[in-house]
Structure 1
Amino acid sequence: MSDPVRVLVADIGSVLFAFDPGRRLELLAARTGLPEAELHARLFASGFETRCEAGELTAGEIRDEVAALTGFDGSADELMGLWTSAFTLDRDVLDCFANAGAVLAVFSNNGPLFADAFGARFPEAAQWFRHRFFACRLKARKPDDAAYEQVEQGLAAAFGAEPRDLLLVDDSAANTARAAARGWRSHTFTGAAPLRAVLRAE
């Protein structure tokens, strides 16, 4: 029998949270008066969101650039609310993690508009996931090795955890493959029921 998992490392979008980018575009369109397709082109297809995720901009700087790109005239806090509207906590998945009996961490490619808001806007999840590794703070995105290396270092410092003690749950096969290549355990997420079965087997 393999050693028990010491740390469960969860992705955010499409794992711990259902992800609906269309909802965010709908609200941004209502707020700015721009068509959803134009907002997608300016904020997402342009590479702007990737820059945010990579930690190139603070939340305040993101607000200013969004204002310049779209005419948005609200505060950074309002923009956080609009941005995080794409995420809805999946309580079945949260229960899977909460009942697993392991340390819980998040490892996400989200930028400051989610990372800075996580604790206040999603306290039900945040109370369980106190170890947080966001790309914007790591200055590296999955599946880059530099991102995984920093998670390994952080969890080793906190718990003496080694890569084999970690289980990454992510909806991206590229991300779980990179974790496995580094000696982590990994599960490519497809739903709560398969995740529950995997956690029972560990």
Structure 2
Amino acid sequence: MVGLATIQTLLFDMDGVFCHYDFRYHLTLLEEWTGVSAAEIDERIFKSGFEDAANRGHYGGDAYIDEIARLLQFPIDAETWLLARAQAMTPYPKTAAIARRLKDHYPMALLSNNGWLLRENISRILPELPEIFERRLFFSAETGASKEKASSFAPLINMLGWQAGTTWLIDVNPVNISAASEAGLQTYHFSGPIAFTTDLIHLGLD
């Protein structure tokens, strides 16, 4: 249960909250453009532990795409990889509009489980995010830990000067939500912009 009187700061997720990310379509595009099967791309990049390591900041943008090219044995470049990522993302303008309203009342930040290449290019892919969050736009590559771990939240919360118990995480991933709850944050399982709008009204937050 959200403690309405205690919510002072908001921490948003990106994928699933500000956009729909179609992972399968992402793989399909990469298969078409590289000739490597979607199953092989999934196995070599996403299931191998490489992407998880990149999300924790172990690879800079250039090193990330170089390693992908090596793993796929195909000379893919950053622009092609980013284009596939961007085309697999459908923005949610309603969430952006809600966030702009909430920004007038609450300090807000965004924390996404993603690596340096996407972080360095997010202004091209979802330009509303830098506009809304400004310097409070963070990716796990910067913090060095993904949101699946409860310990990942304290460094960011402390850096922002916030308190865990008065911070509300808006996220789509139940694992992230469970970790945030363990870390003492209040949480909300985002299921879509329309439901979020309704719930904010019912909670008296919008």
Give the shorter-chain TM-score range.
Answer: 0.7 to 0.9
Shift of 1:72: 3.2
In the alignment, is the contact (CA less than 8 A) between 1:108 and 1:135 conserved in 2?
yes
Shift of 1:135: 1.0
Shift of 1:113: 2.4
Unaligned runs of 5+ in 1: none
Deviations 1:168-197 (A, max 9, x none): 101122322332333322101112222123
2:126 corresponds, among 116, 122, 136, to: 122
3-state SS of 2:132 partner: coil
In the alignment, is the contact (CA less than 8 A) between 2:129 and 2:137 conserved in 1?
no
* Corresponding residue number in structure 1 for 2:153: 148
Asked if residue 55 in structure 1 is aligned to residue 57 in structure 2, the reply is yes
Q: Which amino acid aligns with 1:186?
A: T
Q: Which amino acid aligns with 1:107?
A: L
Distance 2:95 2:152 in 1: 24
* Corresponding residue number in structure 1 for 2:116: 112
In the alignment, is the contact (CA less than 8 A) between 1:54 and 1:141 conserved in 2?
yes
In the alignment, is the contact (CA less than 8 A) between 1:83 and 1:113 conserved in 2?
no
Superposed CA RMSD: 2.0
Distance 1:155 1:107 in 2: 12
Deviations 1:7-63 (A, max 9, x none): 221111112110101222122112211121221111112222111111111111111
3-state SS of 2:198 partner: helix
* Corresponding residue number in structure 1 for 2:45: 43
Distance 2:76 2:157 in 1: 38
Q: TM-score, normalised by structure 1?
A: 0.87
* Corresponding residue number in structure 1 for 2:95: 93
3-state SS of 1:142 partner: coil
3-state SS of 2:41 partner: helix
Distance 1:45 1:2 in 2: 39
Distance 2:65 2:169 in 1: 32
Corresponding pairs, count: 198
In the alignment, is the contact (CA less than 8 A) between 2:170 and 2:187 conserved in 1?
yes
* Corresponding residue number in structure 2 for 1:103: 107
* Corresponding residue number in structure 1 for 2:164: 163
Aligned-pair identity in percent equals: 24
Distance 1:2 1:68 in 2: 50
Unaligned runs of 5+ in 2: none
Distance 1:167 1:44 in 2: 29
Distance 1:72 1:17 in 2: 29
* Corresponding residue number in structure 1 for 2:14: 12
Shift of 1:4: 6.1
Q: Which amino acid aligns with 1:120?
A: R
Distance 2:174 2:76 in 1: 37
Alpha-carbon spacing, 1:45–1:182, altered in 2? closer, same or farther (3 Å): closer
1:135 corresponds, among 123, 137, 140, to: 140
